[in-house]
Amino acid sequence: MTRVMQMACHADRTGEFSQKRRCPPARDPYTGDMSELAKMIESASNTAVFTGAGVSTLSGIPDFRGPQGIYRHLDADRIFGLDQFRRDPGFYYEHARDFIYTLDQRSPAIVHTVCADLEAQGLISGVITQNIDMLHQRSGSRNVIELHGSPATHSCPGCGLQATFEQVAPEVRAGRLPTCGQCGGIFKPDITFFGEMLPVGALEGAFALAGSVDLMLVLGSSLVVQPAASVPLATLEAGGRLAIVNLGETPLDSRAAGRWVDLETEFLELARHFGLDSR
């Protein structure tokens, strides 16, 4: 286990380390020539991508902490609280119905499609995502590590039977609790709730991928939700570089080799540069 991974394992999802540690101050964001990002990708021998909620907002999915984020309108700590779900799974399904169980009505955005196309061209080796919207897979990305799980499957806490999103979503949208036909339990989405461990192997796989590349693209993440936010540090620790594209500041801005602000603008330019479909 690397030093970075050991530090991450002592962190919780609130973004606070259990040991005192100060990140370097962020430098002022600058608007680099977008061709420089394309050059970084072209010159790297191995590139990975780390994505956060800012990528999903391009598909009309609200983030958690932004001006129009979920925390401003809903009690996300209760909705995604494990103890709360065990006491009353109906609370989760009632409040998550309109933004989790309509994800199949959302379309991948430019960042999703460009990442998938670059992977197909061999320019990206994999995607590590904090998001639970399944849009990377729907855009065609094959190597996706979902750090916080996914509603693609739901599991019965009683007997372990699984159901797919496609099976569960119509029930939830109709106002019914998705019930296990084997034991009568209520299915729980395979999303990492507060109070749960990350999916088995996800964090280890993310650190392994991040430590194997010489360029990590950090896209739409404020890098504050731990332990996931420590993953890009593994690239730096291994001697690689970071390219960050995010609207707000991140704790790693001062250590990035390139820093841009507008995801949609930059990825439209990447699509043009690499001759990709900008759908």
Give the pair of three-digit tokens for residue 109: 């955005």
DSSP state of 142: -
Strand partners, 217: 49, 243
Calculate ∠ Cα 123-127-133, nearest 5°: 135
135-141 contacts, C-beta under 8 A, 24 or more apart: 135/55, 135/56, 135/59, 135/103, 135/106, 135/107, 135/108, 135/109, 136/51, 136/108, 136/112, 138/108, 138/112, 139/108, 139/112, 139/113, 139/115, 140/113, 140/116, 141/112, 141/115, 141/116
Calculate ∠ Cα 121-219-29, nearest 5°: 125
Residues labelled as active-site residues:
148
Of the candidates 186, 172, 9, 7, which has an alpha carbon nearest to the alpha carbon of residue 97? Answer: 172
